[in-house]
Amino acid sequence: MYEKRDVMAANPYWCYAHQHQLDRELASRHRELKDLKAQAKRDAAKERGIWKQVV
């Protein structure tokens, strides 16, 4: 806890760099989530096609 306070006191712009890093990580996770959702939709469509062939 004190380490963060000490870093912020020594470098007042540290929080902006940290916020920028968190924003990049959030954007990356958002892209991963979108990719996973798209993959799930493709998998579901493929599975429906297989079931239609079986039935």
pLDDT at 18: 83
Distances (CA, A) of 40 to 13, 34, 35, 36, 46: 41, 10, 9, 6, 10
35 pLDDT exceeds 90?
yes
How far apart, in whole angstroms, are the C-alpha atoms of residue 34 and residue 40? 10
pLDDT at 32: 99
39 pLDDT exceeds 80?
yes
2 pLDDT exceeds 60?
yes
16 pLDDT exceeds 70?
yes
Residue 38 phi/psi, 5° resolution? Answer: -65, -40
Expressed as residue numbers, the domain containing 34 is 2-54
Q: Are 8 and 15 in contact (CB under 8 A)?
A: yes
Give the total number of structural domains in the chain: 1
